[in-house]
Structure 1
Amino acid sequence: MTRRAACSAVLFLTLAPLALTAQVTPPPGWSWHHDVRGVSPDSAGWAFTSMAPGFHLTTTTSGANLFPTDQRIVGRRGAEAKVILFPGTGGGAYGLGVIDLDAPDSWVGVLVRRNGSVAVARVQRGMEQPASWAPAEAVVKPDSNGYATNLLRIAIGTDEVVFLANGKSIGSMPRTSLPNRPAIAFRMGPALNMHVTTFDMITPMAPVPAVKKTP
């Protein structure tokens, strides 16, 4: 069963930061925590805005954690996001992971760079703490025009959290690594410009009950 968090507006296909060119209306049903305290999506330097299909994100010198409101993780959950990375030279990373609802400046998950490398990492107030960066064949790199489209997925199981790109595993961590009050969150690093066309929250189907034997 899935729930799609989608928004409406006009797809914006230029590289100028949206916060400097248009009124920014954050997608309904979403919350955010910018790496710089007190910075909102209508501030110069970053944008988080509804644009059909989905939402658009731009950052300059710092990043942000973005998460659906009132979606605390209980049991097995997951999420999937289709991300279009726009041309640019920024080396910031983006990814899917989990925030701590009691401290939303703390994020843990998998990060993806423009060059196709990935890392399971923690991000604390914008400071990345990756285990190690490694190339991932599953990640699509920018084409000749500078665009790259990737389908990212996080699958939170009973004991393990698995991260996938385009259907292939690119990392994992124990479920015990999650905070006490976790929520699925998208991480947007600095100096990036991208469009998220879909963001689906996923509730796995329950296991098939065992057949009871007749006495």
Structure 2
Amino acid sequence: MLSILDPLREMNTLSVLLRMVLAMLFGGLIGLERGRKRRPAGFRTYMLVSLGAALTMLLSQYEYFMVTHAWVEMAAETGIRTDVSRFGAQVINGIGFLGAGTILVTGRQEVKGLTTAAGLWASACMGLAIGAGFYECVLLGFALIFLSMRLLPPIETMVVENARNMNIYVEFQSLDDVGQIINRIKSQDVQIYEVDIDRGREGQALHPSAVFTIRLHHKQAHTQVLTAISELESVYTIDEI
């Protein structure tokens, strides 16, 4: 580790201030990308998660310092022991309730919020590293987390668009149209693995829908399959999920 940063690893006012500011700054920057995409957790959420994790680690270090210095006699009499790792472990476990709140399953049987939840968890871990004064790890961790959220989505999109497997959500007029839709899908030289049908709600405007899990026999554009299905008059909505 860099010896020039040793004074900032000590428990002093400047070090504590720097760690809290870094936690807010780096957490906010990571959350900014999520906020631009209108995700459930954005700029302020990531900032608070990172800051809270840093404060937790600072608290654990403070208690350890006091028990081994100012409170050493009282600790010896009462048998107080402080495990500084326990606070961080509780943060990692406790962040689960925030992550669970960002994950949802849409009416199209599509899972959303996994990346946001993972980002919150990683932001909390980064906050713990900041609170511990592990600056080298913080810089590397922040760079990798930020790059994974900013640069990897286009690569992920390219991989998905060229994949042989597809999940297609289709909304149509009535259940009698399912057979026609299946025939149109098969005409695109694909194999249907699974069909999950939602009959809709009686007396409401919600139409029947289905999620088709298919595999392309040869490499072709996903839009070609979607366009072929959308040409059916019975189809109201179609989307790849």
Higher Cα Rg, which structure: 2
Which structure would you say has the larger RCO, counting Cα contacts within 8 Å and 6 or more residues apart?
A: 1
State whether TM-score is above 0.5.
no
